[in-house]
């Protein structure tokens, strides 16, 4: 009987892994792909749906358009992974057994125990999240006036928070909507931990769009109409969006695989092997060892690169061959602020650290188009181009 390779998750990690497994295994083993959605979501462009929900069509790609006919797909929510019995349990009571497992479940939002945050804030991790934010922003704007504008608060100014704030600003400008936007970051500057040049370019673009940036104090509590920041700032809100942290999925919390004690992301080596035999993990779900102190970052870029190699490594493991050690290659970052964008340290433009304008906007589109083309072909990529 053929060996069974199970891939869980249909994000960059899962979709990319299925493609690389299909080409590396070449029919040598059965592949079953499991996800809670019947599509791949181009998550790093899903914030576009906040401004324009019709972009949903461009950022969702049917599983059937990605996988080959010989790969089975099961739509189910993973609830538990039993590494002793080599079994994945689903919320619907069913399960699947594996010989090799690739975990690509991504992460869920971390609330850090902040009082009221989980109850009152929108998250930004799915298509439904983006569409829900659109609806609430539109409703709040309809109920507001130019003298008493709707208050939209975005908590967390990393990749997600900045891009979400930018989309809301574009929505406001396109609809002449009475909206104030506040971007709250507990650390000292937006896009924390990054180069000062890219931070300041992003700040300028956001401020040009009248986004009020508040850095240096953490959100300590939230109730149904107020966000409490630091010791003395109280910000009333109509819509609150929280993008301030990620943590491992509940589904892997009690799996007996080595994980980070605080955030439950699975520890995997440079070959993507975890502490459990035959269990591999990549993408945001994993903390992948890298030379030096830091693991690979939780980005689409890193998940995509790892996915290209993991299929070959699983095939090598099956054939008893030594596995390849993967090294993340940081090709730079491109971040949108609505229609605009800032690019930083991108390898295709040497000698220029940070730039914006048309070149950055075009690059942002090209990155999304390249990914869509890689997993489903150039026609869909061309179709999506204007909206990315």
Q: State the residues that interact with ligand FAD by CB under 6 A.
A: 8-14, 35-37, 43-44, 46-47, 77-78, 104-106, 124-125, 159-160, 163-164, 249, 251, 283-285, 298-301, 303, 335
- Least distance (Å) between residue 326 CB and ligand FAD: 15
According to DSSP, the residues that pair with 30 across neighbouring strands are 4
Looking at the Cβ atoms of 12 and 237, the one nearer to ligand FAD is 12
Question: Residues for the chain: how many in total?
Answer: 388
The least CB distance from residue 143 to ligand FAD, in Å, is: 26
Smaller CB separation from ligand FAD, 153 or 228 = 153
Cα–Cα dist 61/209, whole Å: 32
Strands 266-268 and 286-288: parallel
- Distance CA(14)–CA(229), nearest Å, equals 38
Beta carbons within 10 angstroms of residue 375's beta carbon = 21
Torsion sign over Cα 235, 240, 244, 249: positive
- Our CB check for ligand FAD shows the closer of 2 and 77 to be 77
Min separation Cβ 319 and ligand FAD, Å: 26
Q: Whole-number minimum distance, CB 130 to ligand FAD, in Å? A: 8
Whichever of 251 and 323 has its CB closer to ligand FAD, that residue is 251
Nearer to ligand FAD, 160 or 228 (CB): 160
Q: Which is nearer to ligand FAD, 228 or 369 (CB)?
A: 369
Please state the closest distance from residue 84 (CB atom) to ligand FAD, in A.
20
Task: Output 22 or 228, the one with its CB closest to ligand FAD.
Answer: 22
Is residue 355 within 8 Å of residue 349, measured between CB atoms?
A: yes
Residue facing ligand FAD at closest CB distance? 11
- Residue 154 CB, nearest approach to ligand FAD (Å): 11
Q: How far is the CB of 244 from ligand FAD (least distance, A)?
A: 12
Residue 253 beta carbon to ligand FAD: minimum distance, rounded to whole angstroms: 11
Please state, as a whole number, how many other Cβ atoms lie within 10 Å of the Cβ of residue 251. 24
Query: Which tokens is 122 given?
Result: 């929108």
Which of 228/365 has CB closer to ligand FAD?
A: 365
Q: Which residue shows structure tokens 């891939």?
A: 7
Shortest CB 298 distance to ligand FAD, Å: 5
Minimum distance from residue 90 beta carbon to ligand FAD (Å): 8
Closer by beta carbon to ligand FAD, 60 or else 226? 60
Quick one: 8 or 141, whose CB is closer to ligand FAD?
8
């Amino acid at each position: 009987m053929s060996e069974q390779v199970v891939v869980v998750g249909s994000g960059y990690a899962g979709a990319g892994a299925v493609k690389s497994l299909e080409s590396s295994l070449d029919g040598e083993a059965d592949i079953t792909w499991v996800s809670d959605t019947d599509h791949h979501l181009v998550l790093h462009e899903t914030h576009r749906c906040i401004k324009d929900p019709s972009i949903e069509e461009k950022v969702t790609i049917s599983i059937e358009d990605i996988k080959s006919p010989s790969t089975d797909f099961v739509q189910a929510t993973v609830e538990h992974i039993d590494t002793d019995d080599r079994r994945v349990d689903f919320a619907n009571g069913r399960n699947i057994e594996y010989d090799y497992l690739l975990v690509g479940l991504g992460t869920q939002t971390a609330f850090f125990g902040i009082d009221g945050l989980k109850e009152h804030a929108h998250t930004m991790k799915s298509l439904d999240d983006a569409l829900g934010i659109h609806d609430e922003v539109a409703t709040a704007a309809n109920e507001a006036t130019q003298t008493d504008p709707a208050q939209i608060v975005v908590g967390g100014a990393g990749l997600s928070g900045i891009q979400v704030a930018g989309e809301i600003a574009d929505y406001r400008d396109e609809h002449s909507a009475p909206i104030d936007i506040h971007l709250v970051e507990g650390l000292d500057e937006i896009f924390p931990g990054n180069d000062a040049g890219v931070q300041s370019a992003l700040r300028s673009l956001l401020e040009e769009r009248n986004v009020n940036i508040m850095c240096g104090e953490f959100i300590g509590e939230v109730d149904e109409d107020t966000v409490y920041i630091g010791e003395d700032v109280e910000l009333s809100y109509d819509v609150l969006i929280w993008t301030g942290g990620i943590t491992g999925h509940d589904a892997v919390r009690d799996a007996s695989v080595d994980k980070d004690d605080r955030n439950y992301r699975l520890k995997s080596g440079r070959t993507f092997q975890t502490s459990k035999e035959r269990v591999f993990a990549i993408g945001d779900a994993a903390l992948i060892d890298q030379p030096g102190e830091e693991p690979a970052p939780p980005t689409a870029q890193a998940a995509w690169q790892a996915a290209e190699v993991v299929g070959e490594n699983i095939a090598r493991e099956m054939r008893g061959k030594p596995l390849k050690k993967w090294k993340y290659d940081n090709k730079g970052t491109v971040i949108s602020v609505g229609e605009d964008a800032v690019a930083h340290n991108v390898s295709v433009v040497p000698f220029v650290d940070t730039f914006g304008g048309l070149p950055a906007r075009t690059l942002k589109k090209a990155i999304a188009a390249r990914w869509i083309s890689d997993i489903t072909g150039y026609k869909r990529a061309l179709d999506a181009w204007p909206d990315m």
